[in-house]
A and B are shown apart, each in its own frame.
Chain A
């Protein structure tokens, strides 16, 4: 018979909330890595240097075609075979960061491709160098239309953080499992974990929509 114990729930809540902070930190760091590395992936694919384009393209395809959990295991357990010994946190951040970087690079790529040719020509006519052309003119125009996709990946990465539990990162699910094994009660910890995820995801999604609208207004993109 399923039974919900309120007292027990309240007792474990603080532990879960502090684990939720870890989850948020993991998602945040992972996303920052993904944002930066994803842009690097996207830009490298546009260098026009054939071997570079080819190698980066293959890396992105490889990462996108293999499961995140395998990548997390790989970095953590196979890395030491090559003398790369990383903490669970570092391994997890690298794996999840690179995984989402490969997805975000595709988002950037679409965004960059959609900037009209005339913008490049205007930059050339004004003699802006390639770096300034990208960072001051092209990327700022590529980002706002990409924001919805970028926002979805932020929520996605947040929901994928439980995979880090497989290498022992003390995020929400890992903490709930630990509590469960200590007390032999799983209903409350896992239910609470679900509710905590929901309590963060829903307002975050709402906030992202507001942010997109604000960016569109701020950059004067809307008529």
Chain B
């Protein structure tokens, strides 16, 4: 690793998330190409772009579901994909990754709720098993969270008995139960029926307004991205082609590709 490019620790005042020259390819296919990408604390960033542009990969790497080929990802000033060892940056071991991962939570496109557990048990599982919280406390907190997402009457239901929108709201509560500092939303409405998308977006809107969370979301809901985001990034071919405030990006896109993409999705929508 080239040391000047990749410090072991970022200076104070560093962004909440920093991708430094991150590269990822699957065989011949380059998904991310020397990506530099910062997200500030409490910032809400939407990532838009055509499929295959590397949007979801950004989230999956940040959640450590996938390894990066080159570069370093930092979270809260500390390296995530690497760790300092004898003054050098080396690949992070499992233990280190586990310690860093607790700052990050993720909500998935297909919810990924545990089907053998009730909504409440889904939310309690990680606080009890990972954080060592008492069952009573975890249960109380989970109930609060499920109430917050509007599911107080469904806490003892298994996921199979819930609608897609309800399942996704449980998934949001489950992620929040771990008190992450960064919450990732990976196309969380893409698998939902149109009529329940609103209830999930409502929960995210409420989170954005009431909680101090850094949120990064990959979305196809342009209207929602515009409404909620501090910044919108247009990904194309593994790079950020254009980024800026929602007003700038949606109303005055400078880049030709951005313009093409937006006119295509907005026409379709």
Given A128-B129, A132-B129, A219-B158, A122 and B116 touching (CB < 8 A)?
A: no
Contact of B65 among A121, A132, A136 (CB under 8 A): A121
Is B161 engaged at the interface, CB distance under 8 Å to the other chain? yes
Instruction: Determine which residue in A141, A144, A220 has the highest number of CB atoms from chain B within 10 A of its CB, and name it.
Output: A220
In the complex, the answer to whether B63 meets A124 with C-beta atoms within 8 Å is: yes
In chain A between 133 and 179, which residues have their CB closer than 8 angstroms to a CB of chain B? 136-137, 140-141, 144
Contact of A127 among B101, B110, B111, B118 (CB under 8 A): B101
In the complex, the answer to whether B114 meets A125 with C-beta atoms within 8 Å is: no
As a 0/1 sequence over residues 35 to 61 of chain B, the CB contacts with chain A under 8 angstroms (1 = contact) are: 000000000000000000000000000
Docked pose: A125 CA to B161 CA in angstroms: 24
Docked pose: A220 CA to B157 CA in angstroms: 8
Residues of B within 8 A of A129 (CB): 98, 130
Tally chain A residues at the interface, Cβ within 8 Å.
Answer: 22
Is A203 engaged at the interface, CB distance under 8 Å to the other chain? no
* Smallest beta-carbon distance B119→chain A, Å: 11
In the complex, the answer to whether B64 meets A124 with C-beta atoms within 8 Å is: yes
Is B108 engaged at the interface, CB distance under 8 Å to the other chain? yes
What is the interface of chain B, defined by CB distance below 8 A to chain A?
63-65, 98, 101-102, 104-106, 108, 110-116, 118, 125-126, 129-130, 157-161, 174-175, 178
* A/B interface sample: 22 pairs, CB < 8 A: A118-B110, A118-B112, A121-B106, A122-B114, A124-B63, A124-B65, A125-B104, A125-B108, A126-B125, A126-B126, A126-B130, A126-B174, A127-B178, A128-B125, A140-B116, A141-B115, A141-B116, A219-B116, A219-B158, A220-B159, A222-B160, A223-B161
Apart from A124-B63, A125-B106, A220-B159, 12 more pairs, CB < 8 Å: A116-B112, A122-B113, A124-B64, A125-B65, A125-B101, A126-B105, A126-B175, A128-B129, A144-B116, A219-B115, A220-B158, A222-B160
What is the interface of chain A, defined by CB distance below 8 A to chain B?
116, 118-119, 121-122, 124-129, 132, 136-137, 140-141, 144, 219-223
